[in-house]
Structures are given as C-alpha cells and as structure tokens.
C-alpha cells in the first residue's frame, strides 16, 4: 500500500522501533485498521456521505476526545475538504460546546437503573445550524451520542437521521466512521503511552 | 417484526439482536457484499447484513477484529483479550457485546464465576491482580477523554504482561469501543 500507516504516523512509531516490531506481529490488524481508514476517508463511493461531511464529523469526534495529534490531523483534513470557512469555524465552536466526560447514559429500566448517569444531551446551537445544514446538524448530534452516551441510543435516533436526509446506507457508514475513530484514537493514545513508558525505562 | 424482549441485566446467556433499520435482504447480496462479509455464513446474521451496506468498511473491520482476537501467537492468551472486550462492553453498557465476550472469556479461562462477577458487580469487581490490571486498563481506555496513562502500563507490567501483551490489551479494548458503538446504536438485543 502506497500510503503511510496512519496509526503509526499519529502514534509516532518509527520504522525499526520496538513497537514497530510488535505491531508487525499483528500484521492483519495493522493492515486492516489502515484499510478501514482508507475505506472511510477515500471511499470508492461517497454518494451517500460526502468527503466534506466525513471530514467534518471526524474533526468533531476526535476534537471531542481532547486536543491530540489525531484531532489536529482530522482538523487539517477538514480544512482541506471544506470549501467554506464558516464550516470550519462551526465545527471548532461545536467541539467546545460538546466537550464533556463519558461514558454516561441510562440502562434499560430494571436492576441496572441504579447505574444510570446523567450528562449533557448535546444539540447543535441554533445560530450554527445554517452553516452546518440539516444533514450535518443531525450527524453531529448523533456522533456526540455515540461518543459519550452510546447506551442511550434508541430507534428514534435512526428516525432523526432518516428525517434529516440520511439514507440507510449513509447511516451505516456514518456509524462506522464514528465507531472506527473511537477505536483509532484509543489505539494511538495507548501506543503513545506505552512508547513513552518504555523510553523512560531505558533512560532511567 | 417479531416482538423484542430486551434483557435488563448483563448475562452470559445467548442473546439475539434486532436491527432498527433495514439490513440488505439476502437475495440482494452480490459478490462485492460477500467479500465484505468475509465468512459467507454471516449472510444469515441481520447485524452483518446491515453493516454490509458498506462492504469495504465491513471487510476491513472484520479482518482487524479477527487478528486482534484470534491471532494468539506470541501474545496475550485469548481469555484475557476476551476479558478486555467484556470489561469494555460492561463499562460502555453494551449488554449484547458483553454477553458474547463474557461467554468467550469464561470458555477460555474456565473462570466463569469471576467473569459473572464482572457482569454483576461491574468493573470494580476484585478479580485478582492480573485480571484487575486488564480490566482497569480497558476502562481507562474506554473513558472519554481517554484516561489510560503510565500507571496502567506499570500495573500491567507488574501483573506479568510484556509489551507485546500490553499491545494486545490496547488493541482488544480499543476495538470494543468500535464494536460497542455499532451494536448499541443500530439495533437492540433480545432474549
């Protein structure tokens, strides 16, 4: 594959390093995490979910996880894909409004209800809806639900996306994109933490 | 659609899963879809026939999943990868995912009662040093913002894991942040 491995790049894993060798033992996982990234961000068919929409949702989702190399990467991707400055500004402002701590939400009514945890029910601010449009507004609200309170998800959330103009296939790809980023940002964070711990051990 | 009977507790029992939006009908699957399914038998599953609406993403996701969990050469035993998956699912609140991977953790570890305590008591259950370290690392990774730090690495090492095994924990736990979000948001479990 011509492209550089995105997880290695974001985690700062150098060729020939100890972590490079460890990742090489899980070659299928490494190559297919990369293929997942490519299938989501360089798809063969973007008709149900445009590249600009994908970049906007990705910048929002990774930004919600806090500032990091991953968030900066997708912010740059959005800047490269969006042809309107107001969209970039809107995503930046909505990340600030949406930041909180998860996971929270409700369990099905019953013995687990004592573990229910209340938290922000995020909605896009009224003044930014015109910059985002109905589809992206619905996508950001759904993405926030998936990031912070996935156990709150209900069939009504699918209906909200359909009503905002998302097709069933578009919903599947949107869900995969948010869920994949939830994986990618964690693998990168975990590998960075491990690399730092090992570097410290060598130094001490 | 048949009646859904959602479980209200975490369980190791086998559960069904019902989609909230339309999976592709089996009769409409093409070779491109079968490539996405990886295993042809998955065409029988409503969940996979829904995800196969984007075949390229499903194929890459499936192959990532299989290598992280099934490739146990030089690394963490399968039981502890399943434990990471079950703990992540317990913490995020995915009753369906937790049921599948708690069952696998029980099968491979032969510690069914300990696995059940994770489900009943939650991620704070005391399961012994090694399992506690794996559960704590999985929970720290699942938090948003991510709470995984040098303390987790230290605990995993103290519990006897080498760096390759720690990467297996990171991969397994991170992968379930992907899986949980799909299972929880596209449909629901049914007894």
Helix B129-142, helix B150-158: angle, nearest 10: 160
Residues of chain A with Cβ-Cβ distance to B147 below 8 Å are none
User: Which of B20, B63, B174 is the closest to A155 by Cβ?
Assistant: B20
- Count H helices, E strands: chain B? 9, 2
pLDDT digits 0-9 by tens, A193-204: 999 998 877 776
| Predicted confidence (pLDDT) at residue A145 exceeds the cutoff of 50 | yes
Q: What are phi and psi of B187, to 5 degrees?
A: 180, -165
pLDDT digits 0-9 by tens, A20-38: 999 999 999 999 999 999 9
| Predicted confidence (pLDDT) at residue B89 exceeds the cutoff of 50 | yes
| Predicted confidence (pLDDT) at residue B83 exceeds the cutoff of 90 | yes
Nearest-CA distance B8 → chain A (Å):
5
Range of the domain at A193: 6-203
Per-residue pLDDT band at B2 (split at 50, 70, 90): low
- Distance from C-alpha of B184 to C-alpha of B21, rounded to nearest angstrom: 13
Which pLDDT score, from 0 to 100, does residue A83 have?
Answer: 77
User: Which of A36, A158, A172 is the closest to B53 by Cβ?
Assistant: A172
Q: How many structural domains comprise chain B? A: 1
Which pLDDT score, from 0 to 100, does residue B102 have?
Answer: 98
Residues of chain B with Cβ-Cβ distance to A193 below 8 Å are 148-150, 152-153
- The interface predicted TM-score of the complex, written ipTM, equals 0.98
Nearest-CA distance A61 → chain B (Å):
11
Which pLDDT score, from 0 to 100, does residue B16 have?
Answer: 97
Residue A1 lies in a domain: no
pLDDT digits 0-9 by tens, A60-119: 999 999 999 999 999 999 999 987 889 999 999 999 999 999 999 999 999 999 999 999
pLDDT digits 0-9 by tens, B117-174: 999 999 999 999 999 999 999 999 999 999 999 999 999 999 999 999 999 999 999 9
**For residue B65, what are the CA distances in angstroms to A36, A75, A120, A189, B122?**
11, 27, 31, 19, 24
Q: How many structural domains comprise chain A? A: 1
CATH, residue B20 = 1.20.1290.10
Range of the domain at B66: 1-191
Residues of chain B with Cβ-Cβ distance to A183 below 8 Å are 174-175, 177-178
Q: Residue A1 burial by CB count (10 A; 0-12/13-18/19+): exposed, middle or buried?
A: exposed
User: Which of B153, B164, B170 is the closest to A25 by Cβ?
Assistant: B164
Residue B96's CB is within 10 A of a number of other CB atoms, namely 23
CATH, residue A60 = 1.20.1290
Q: Residue A99 burial by CB count (10 A; 0-12/13-18/19+): exposed, middle or buried?
A: middle
Residue A133 lies in a domain: yes
């Amino acid at each position: 594959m011509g492209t550089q491995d995105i997880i290695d790049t974001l985690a700062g894993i150098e060729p020939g390093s100890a972590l490079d060798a460890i990742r090489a033992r899980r070659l299928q996982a490494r190559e297919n995490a990369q293929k997942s990234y490519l299938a989501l961000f360089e798809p063969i068919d973007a008709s149900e979910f445009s590249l600009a929409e994908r970049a906007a949702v990705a910048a929002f989702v990774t930004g919600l996880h806090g500032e990091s190399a991953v968030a900066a990467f997708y912010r740059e991707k959005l800047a490269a894909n969006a042809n309107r400055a107001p969209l970039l500004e809107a995503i930046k402002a909505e990340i600030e409004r949406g930041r909180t701590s998860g996971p929270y939400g409700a369990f099905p009514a019953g013995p687990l209800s004592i573990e229910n945890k209340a938290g922000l029910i995020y909605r896009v601010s009224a003044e930014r809806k015109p910059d985002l449009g109905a589809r992206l507004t619905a996508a950001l609200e759904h993405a926030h639900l998936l990031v912070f309170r996935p156990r709150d998800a209900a069939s009504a959330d699918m209906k909200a996306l359909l009503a905002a103009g998302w097709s069933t296939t578009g919903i599947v790809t949107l869900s995969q994109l948010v869920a994949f980023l939830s994986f990618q940002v964690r693998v990168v964070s975990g590998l960075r933490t491990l690399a730092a711990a090992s570097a410290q051990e060598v130094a001490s | 659609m048949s009646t859904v009977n959602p479980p209200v507790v975490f369980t190791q029992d086998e559960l069904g899963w019902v989609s909230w939006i339309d999976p592709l009908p089996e009769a409409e699957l093409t070779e491109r879809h079968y490539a996405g399914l990886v295993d042809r038998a998955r065409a029988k599953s409503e969940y996979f026939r829904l995800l196969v609406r984007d075949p390229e993403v499903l194929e890459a996701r499936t192959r990532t999943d299989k290598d992280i969990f099934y490739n146990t050469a030089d690394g963490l035993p399968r039981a502890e990868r399943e434990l990471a998956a079950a703990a992540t699912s317990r913490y995020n609140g995915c009753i369906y995912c937790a049921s599948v991977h708690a069952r696998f953790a029980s099968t491979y570890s032969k510690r069914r009662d300990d696995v059940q305590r994770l489900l009943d008591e939650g991620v704070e259950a005391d399961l012994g040093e090694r399992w506690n370290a794996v559960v704590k690392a999985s929970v720290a990774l699942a938090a948003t913002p991510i709470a995984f730090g040098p303390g987790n690495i230290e605990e995993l090492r103290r519990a006897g894991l080498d760096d390759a095994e720690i990467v297996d924990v990171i991969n397994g736990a991170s992968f379930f942040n992907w899986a949980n979000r799909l299972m929880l948001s596209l449909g629901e479990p049914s007894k």
